[in-house]
Amino acid sequence: MAKYRIGRINDEMARQLAVIFRNIRDPRLDSCLVSVTAVDTKPDLRFAKIYYSVINYDKTLTDEEKDKQVQEALESSSGFVRSELARLINLRLTPELTFVRDASMTRGAEISAVLKRIEREEANRAEPAEEDADE
């Protein structure tokens, strides 16, 4: 199967999964936003990895605890998700779904925080040098 077709299937699955995720009725998903970041379908359409990210609104749980809850909720609802996907997308086979947390947003936030800290440190180092030059 041509790579461009798999790419189109991945894009359409990502769009439809975003809609399906909003329709999952699981209390573990109530206090967070789950978004599909990527879909990787095998060329034979038997398996697909669904990469997702989580924004946690429930501050009583740590991000790691919430991630574990979301992973469990998605795995327990995989049958529903797969059947809805089969209904929405006309494919010969509906792939088995594997859910993988995409940590790129978290890593990006950490990198941004480090860069801001470095920027503040550089600004603090530059201030005393400017004061010495004024004297």
| Ramachandran angles phi, psi of 32, nearest 5° | -150, 165
Kindly state whether residues 74 and 88 are assigned to the same domain.
yes
Kindly state whether residues 92 and 53 are assigned to the same domain.
yes
Q: Which two tokens stand for residue 50?
A: 């669904």
Domain that holds residue 114: 104-135
pLDDT of residue 85: 94
- Tell me how far the alpha carbon of residue 121 is from its chain's centroid: 32
Cβ count near 91 (within 10 Å): 13
SS3 state at 54: strand
Instruction: Report pLDDT digits (tens) over 26-52.
Output: 888 888 888 899 999 999 989 999 999
Q: Which two tokens stand for residue 117?
A: 């800290």
Higher pLDDT, 14 or 133: 14
> Which CATH number goes with the domain that contains 44?
3.30.300.20
Instruction: Report pLDDT digits (tens) over 50-86.
Output: 999 988 887 788 878 888 999 999 999 999 999 999 9
Please give the tally of structural domains in the chain. 2
Q: What are the DSSP calls for 41-107, one per residue?
A: E-TTSSEEEEEEEEEE--TTS-HHHHHHHHHHHHHHTHHHHHHHHHHHS--SSPPEEEEEE--HHHH
pLDDT of residue 96: 94
